[in-house]
Amino acid sequence: MEHDEKLTNAIKTLTMTSSLPSAKRREVVGVRIVTTLLVVLVLCAFIAANMQLTSTMMSRFASFDDEPNNTTHRQLQVLEQFRLSEGKIYPDFEVYNEMTGETLSSLAYENEANPLNNLADSRTPPYSNGPETAFFFHIRKSRGGVVKNIMTHCFNLRRAEKMQDPESLTFVDGVLNVDTQTLAGLKRAQGTNLVDSGLVDVIVSSYFFEGMMLFNPTHKGRVFTLLPHPVYQTESLYLSLKQRHPAKFNGVGIEDWVQSDSFNDNWVVRSLINYRKGALTEEHVTVAKVILSRKFVVGISQYPLESMKRLVMYYGWSEVSGDGSFECMHHFMNQEVDEDVSFEGRIERGSERWNLLTSVNKYDMELYYFALQLFAKQGSTLFGRPYVDKTGAPIDFAKLRAQREQEQLEQFFNSLVQGGE
């Protein structure tokens, strides 16, 4: 019945159209044809736009298809500029595991001019792409002095440091008399072709970016560091400066200092991304995490013995004594006595002062906790070592689990006894 009505209406419409004068009929038909064409064009454009959007979205998320857990991954674009004299920008796109720092894939081209290519990836075999030299990125108040003494006296490793004026390519007490701890000294060292000279086994510098520029893609650096807890590091640095410059710090508490213009907040993150001034964001610390996970063998200042043992394994260093006892290493660690250094800290955790220091060093705190996770993972992936406690002893997780279950069982029975009373 419905089809019959539609047919009847169509016939009426056709009859009405045919009954119009020929000119008027052609005009009506023309309008209908144009309208139909416009509708078809709009539909085609809509379909094309949807196909393009679908293609774009598919390509954008294609790299995430094989992710085991999307919540632990982030796609980021590095927009910060490495401050070379030419002012070039080196963008890099990474998809990585936030928990382990493992880079899963790169979404953009690998720019050969990127200065990070001067450093070997931590997971590649040593000397797999030509000559290499160890690079110790020395973070202030992180047992760096002990590490340098151990490298020089226990493993006979040659390093550069300004020992006396003037600088010279000669050794003083087993150390090459070349300054690698100032920007001017690093520039001079680069002019002497220090790395390719073969005079040193380790480059030590507190300037990550400028130190990295001593190397090149054909002679890479293989970098390591010891990360201190940001609160303890800030506290230790304050006490050290106060001792060295009593007049300047007279009446200036640590709270005043960390909120002044003279304090360099989030020093480690800023050093890694070469962003010395300006407000930091989550993108900055994410870039620092990627650099740390890809390029560094990570040590922790609060676990010095385990950190040093890993470095010995990783770089293949040989003790001067040759007996594998690490007696020399223990000697320098036990000899470390510095009244203004406290790696356990004197500031009470959770106090107002503690909260202030964690706040001003927010991004260094985030990087430090990430480094702890990376330290645990590298123990397994790079060294085949079990998870260890603070003393370097392996952690027996089965034993801990059994103890926890026993404690829970005892608590259950105690609650029954108390209930019966």
171/91 Cα distance (integer angstroms):
41
In this predicted model, which residue has the larger pLDDT, 162 or 32? 162
In this predicted model, which residue has the larger pLDDT, 82 or 268? 268
Q: How many domains does the chain have?
A: 2
Same domain assignment for residues 37 and 106: no
Same domain assignment for residues 149 and 243: yes
In this predicted model, which residue has the larger pLDDT, 233 or 60? 233
Same domain assignment for residues 19 and 140: no
Q: Could you tell me if residue 75 is inside a domain?
A: no
Q: Could you tell me if residue 205 is inside a domain?
A: yes
Same domain assignment for residues 220 and 362: yes
pLDDT digits (tens, 9 = 90+) for 166-188: 988 899 988 999 999 999 999 99
Provide the domain limits for residue 56: 2-64
Q: Which two tokens stand for residue 166?
A: 């003037």
244/241 Cα distance (integer angstroms):
5
Same domain assignment for residues 45 and 132: no
Same domain assignment for residues 224 and 351: yes
CATH of the domain at 131: 3.40.50
Please state which of the ranges 79-93, 99-113, 311-325, 340-354 shows the lowest mean pLDDT. Answer: 79-93
Of the pLDDT bands very low, low, confident and very high (cuts 50, 70, 90), residue 14 is very low
Of the pLDDT bands very low, low, confident and very high (cuts 50, 70, 90), residue 417 is low
Instruction: Report whether 90 contacts 82 (CB < 8 A).
Output: yes
Q: Could you tell me if residue 144 is inside a domain?
A: yes
Q: Could you tell me if residue 101 is inside a domain?
A: yes
150/327 Cα distance (integer angstroms):
11
pTM of the complete model beyond 0.85: no
Q: Could you tell me if residue 407 is inside a domain?
A: no
Instruction: Report whether 220 contacts 227 (CB < 8 A).
Output: no
Same domain assignment for residues 113 and 24: no
pLDDT digits (tens, 9 = 90+) for 356-372: 999 999 999 999 999 99
10 Å CB burial of residue 42 (0-12, 13-18, 19+) is exposed
Same domain assignment for residues 205 and 339: yes
Q: In this model, does residue 329 exceed pLDDT 60?
A: yes
